[in-house]
Structure 1
């Protein structure tokens, strides 16, 4: 007790002298912080210069005093005594170090006394661990615990390897049995060969995650058994607990926002179903002029898209991680992609809406778009598909359709079907009434051309060398041929009828009439290798 009082008196005299010379009022010239670590455990971080000693010198002096006291194994009671504005941390009768006000991290500690008590508690732990390290039965107990943990760790690894081998043997049989049950009609939904590779990779990843966790826990437990390595083990365990706590707090903290986002999505789903029913009622003929059976589906899709985009914008702030840098970067990336590709995409979509709501085209109609001719098979948001008479399927951008002239051969017909027309040019020396009658006869002989409405012939031009006759008739798509085949048959009948009546088809320019008429006699119509059709 007397030695402690003597030490306190000496320290007080030194501090009073420093006040007189002006060192105590500026005890703390800011310098590089230095950490005091004893037996691999952090005790205190010095940040100030006290009694002329910089933080590094204070660390060296405190380490020497503490090590000497631990080596002497005398009185190792750790106490804290105030000395003016500072606190002394004593190890037995020796001063271990001084805690100055400027050494305190105000974020971590509320006062200098709390910082000094914390440093003293860590020093007491160092003293206890030093005694433990010098006790034989405690070290043997730590070795036994580490050996037992190692045996359990190896056993778990061996068990995982055995389970993995058994699972790999039974996995093909299990997958084959369950994938055979997943069928739609006679079609198997999932291929077992692809599923096996996927599950193998998932099990491999799961196995290594478990191995790493077991290894992490084993290393942390073994290091925590021995005094010198205990700080390392505690830091490993604390890090894992901090990560788990962070994840758990994040999950719990995201539940309210996630609930609000789900509520918004459920409300959007209800509004979408309600709007679908309303639009279906409005599509009844005589209710709304622009909404009918053709425009009902795209209008429903656009309405649903607008509702869900609005719901997504409302729910975005409540989604987990919406305020993180990752979400912000993703938003910037999506905005950049949309801005770069919006011009063409939005233009095609707008052209698709124009075609839909102006009802320029309908599926099943026969049209001519620029130089392309065929039956409309699909009218989409961005493209339109038509099937030509030769069996080709053409995909045309909607912007091309809105920017060119479109001829619709099905819109003016009576009932189902489309318009078939062809042009012939016959000289002025042939009576025009005869030409019209022959064209009508050829149309009458062509299967697939309707008698009602009857075909018509128009004289569309009186050129320099011949009149131009256009035959216009109506055909039905379900009748036996597509348009290209039907036109081919019609052209054949036109040639046959004109040959029967001895009329030449002299469309090219000529300088004089030929010596012999350019017609094919009936007995030569089926000259080899042509074969005359058999009578049914």
Structure 2
């Protein structure tokens, strides 16, 4: 009997020594593996310019990424070592009768959460499958929308009364609706979606979005209206209120206009929609834009002479088209002068400020050469015998 007990004790001591040696080997192996992994990450990213970025926005530099990965590897090494020690202790305690009652509760502290987690995963499988099916159909619909968008842009597919430039904004709107619908269907299937904490967070986020997006939603609605009413396109020369320039960007929220002075003006779409928009690049009715300058000439000057001078001034202007020919309109007969307006066509709508300036210069030059005074009623109400206000050329 004593020999059996001695043999049992010796066997348990041998098993304890084996477990201890196995623990030491596991700890050494973990240290070796994680040290090599940390050194490899450090060598790869030490002199690298690679960084975590989204397009041109850098989220994390190479140095910070290297430190972060090294920290994660160190934390994983510590967790693996503690896990190995945790497994070692119950087995070691179970080898000896005096400590065997402590082994089972200590092991259950680790096994019970894993069992509960596994059972929760099994119970969640139907919801997980439903969520994956919804995500697959959403992905399929988005791919189909993208193919239709490309086909409309390249005119492989045509729809009645649907313009190709509408394909991109229509695709973005439909993509947003699909994603929003998918999110609304997937969120109830997430684990813990019925918990009070999740409902409270959802209510808080919804209230924040509702209170903070009133202006944004107004701009988005106005942007959609502007797109489908074809008020202007990117590259058009427009005047929105007091702002004149080229449209360089048009989004659902705002419109960006580049002025002749190379200033970028960002106008909310709600302001654009409520303002008067003049499109100088619209070619639907006329191939060119009509520029005009008005002057007041006294009754003592023959109107035929005024017409000839103003047409000649328009013909002297570089960017004025010769055809259709410039023409003059008599706009009104005042108490002291007659109002004449020169009208001329140009296709260079991007240079309208320069064209107007040059046209006015030539008008002044032509009337000065003809010694004809350009009048205004306030100026000509009282004459004191002074010379005519024409400059000598």
Q: 1:401/1:257 Cα in 2 relative to 1: closer, same or farther (>3 Å)?
A: same
For the residues of structure 2 that align with 1:219 and 1:281, how far apart are their CA atoms? 63
Structure 1 residue 288 and structure 2 residue 167: aligned? no
Q: How does 1:451-470 map to 2 (within 5 A)?
A: 451-470=322-341
* Alpha-carbon distance, 1:347 to partner: 0.8
The corresponding residue for 1:205 is 72
Deviation at 1:487, TM superposition (A): 2.3
Structure 2 distance, partners of 1:354, 1:256, is 43
Q: Which runs of 5+ in 1 are unaligned?
A: 1-131, 181-187, 523-536
The CA deviation at 1:359 is: 1.9
Q: Which of 30, 39, 56 is equivalent to 1:166?
A: 39
CA contact (8 A) 2:31 2:77 kept: no
TM-score, normalization: structure 1? 0.59
1:65-80 equivalent positions in 2, closer than 5 A = none
Matched-pair contact (CA < 8 Å) for 1:389–1:485: no
- 1:381-396 aligned within 5 A: 381-396=252-267
Q: Confirm or deny: 8 A CA contact 1:285 1:292 kept in the other structure.
A: no
State the superposition RMSD in angstroms: 4.0
Aligned to 1:487: 356
Q: Which moved more, 1:348-357 or 1:321-330?
A: 321-330
**Structural mapping, 1:400-419, within 5 Å:** 400-411=271-282, 417-419=288-290
State how 1:158-237 maps to structure 2 within 5 Å.
158-160=31-33, 162-163=35-36, 166-167=39-40, 170-172=43-45, 194-222=61-89, 225-226=92-93, 234-237=104-107
Q: 1:462 and 1:334 mapped to 2: Cα distance? A: 66
Corresponding residue number in structure 2 for 1:473: 344
Aligned-residue offset at 1:281:
6.6
1:461/1:469 contact within 8 Å kept: yes
Structure 2: gaps of 5 or more residues: none
Corresponding position of 1:258: 128
- Map 1:360-379 to 2 at 5 A: 360-379=231-250
Describe the superposition over 1:329-360 as per-residue Cα deviations: whole angstroms up to 9, x where unpaired. Answer: 44324312321123212211111121122222
TM-score normalised over the length of structure 2: 0.77
Which structure has the highest helix share of the two? 2
Q: After superposition, what is the alpha-carbon deviation per residue over 1:63-93, rounded to whole angstroms, capped at 9, x for unaligned?
A: xxxxxxxxxxxxxxxxxxxxxxxxxxxxxxx
Q: Which has the higher contact order (CA 8 A, sep 6+)?
A: 2
Per the TM alignment, residue 470 of structure 1 is displaced from its structure 2 partner at its CA by 3.5
Separation of aligned partners in 1, 2:386 and 2:332:
28
User: Structure 1 residues 473 and 156, CA, compared in 2 at 3 Å: closer, same or farther?
Assistant: same
Displacement of 1:461 in angstroms is: 4.3
Aligned pair in 2 of structure 1 residues 428, 172: CA closer, same or farther (>3 Å)? same
Rounded to whole Å, the distance in 1 between the matches of 2:243 and 2:285 is 24
* Structure 2 SS opposite 1:362: coil
Q: What secondary structure does 1:471 align onto?
A: strand
**Contact 1:220–1:234 (CA<8 Å) still a contact in 2?**
no
Distance, in Å, in 2 between the alignment partners of 1:189 and 1:341 is 27
Aligned-partner SS, 1:389: coil
